Structure 1
């Protein structure tokens, strides 16, 4: 499997982490100074998931796909291999965001699964660990603050 993953323990209850995870994406999803602007999100397996990421120098990166899974309070998964009305797109990855109770807090795990070894290596070279790690830290700060 061609997978990259990060995990954090968040000192907050799972219900709070889930709420921030899914309802406050604009505040944590992109490492600052980038920002995420969530668009249409039909939160169910097969539903549309649209977001646009904006960079500090005017970069605009649409991030559209469909939900593969929506397990309320536990995890969601999205792919960019399909967009809109089940239209094929150039696949890069499946993103999976999961939470689970752990001790007095919550274990957060974000995973990117890729179709090929090259795509996985490209994602790693793009700064996966630093970028997704910064987003996880931003999520934790919102939940723990």
Structure 2
């Protein structure tokens, strides 16, 4: 498996982290100064998920895919290999976002699984660790407030 992953302890209850994670994505999903806007979410396996990311210099990056899993309160899994119309698209990764209780708080883990070592290395070179860590920090700041 060609996986990149980050993990962060968040000093807040899992239900609070989950609520922010899934209901306030516009506030943490992209590392600032980028921002995200959720377009559509059908929160179930096979349901469409669409959002657009906007960069500080006018960049616009639409993202379309489907949920492979939605385990309420625990994890959700998406892929861009198939869009909401069940049409194949250029696959890049399977994304897994999950929370679990750890002590008095929550262990947040976000992983990206890739079809090949080449695309994993490409994602790493794009700044996976820095970017996804910044998003985790933004999520933690919201949950710990």
The question of a shared fold, defined as TM-score above 0.5 by the shorter chain, is answered with yes
Offset from partner CA, 1:93-133 (integer Å, 9 cap, x none): 00000000000000000000000100000000000000000
Is 1:138 the counterpart of 2:138 in the alignment? Answer: yes
1:129 corresponds in structure 2 to 129
TM-score by length of 1: 0.99
1:43 corresponds in structure 2 to 43
Offset from partner CA, 1:54-79 (integer Å, 9 cap, x none): 00000000111000000000000000
1:69 corresponds in structure 2 to 69
Quick one: distance in 1 between partners of 2:87 and 2:126? 26
Is 1:24 the counterpart of 2:5 in the alignment? Answer: no
2:92 corresponds in structure 1 to 92
SS at match of 2:21: helix
1:55 corresponds in structure 2 to 55
Is 1:11 the counterpart of 2:11 in the alignment? Answer: yes
Offset from partner CA, 1:10-48 (integer Å, 9 cap, x none): 000000000000000000000000000001100000000
Structure 1 runs of 4+ aligned residues shifted over 6 Å read none
1:82 corresponds in structure 2 to 82
Shift of 1:135: 0.1
Q: How many residue pairs get matched?
A: 145
Quick one: distance in 2 between partners of 1:84 and 1:76? 16
Quick one: distance in 1 between partners of 2:16 and 2:98? 13
Quick one: distance in 1 between partners of 2:63 and 2:140? 23
SS at match of 1:83: coil
SS at match of 1:67: strand
TM-score by length of 2: 0.99
Tell me how large the CA RMSD over aligned residues is: 0.4
Structure 2 unaligned regions, length at least 5: none
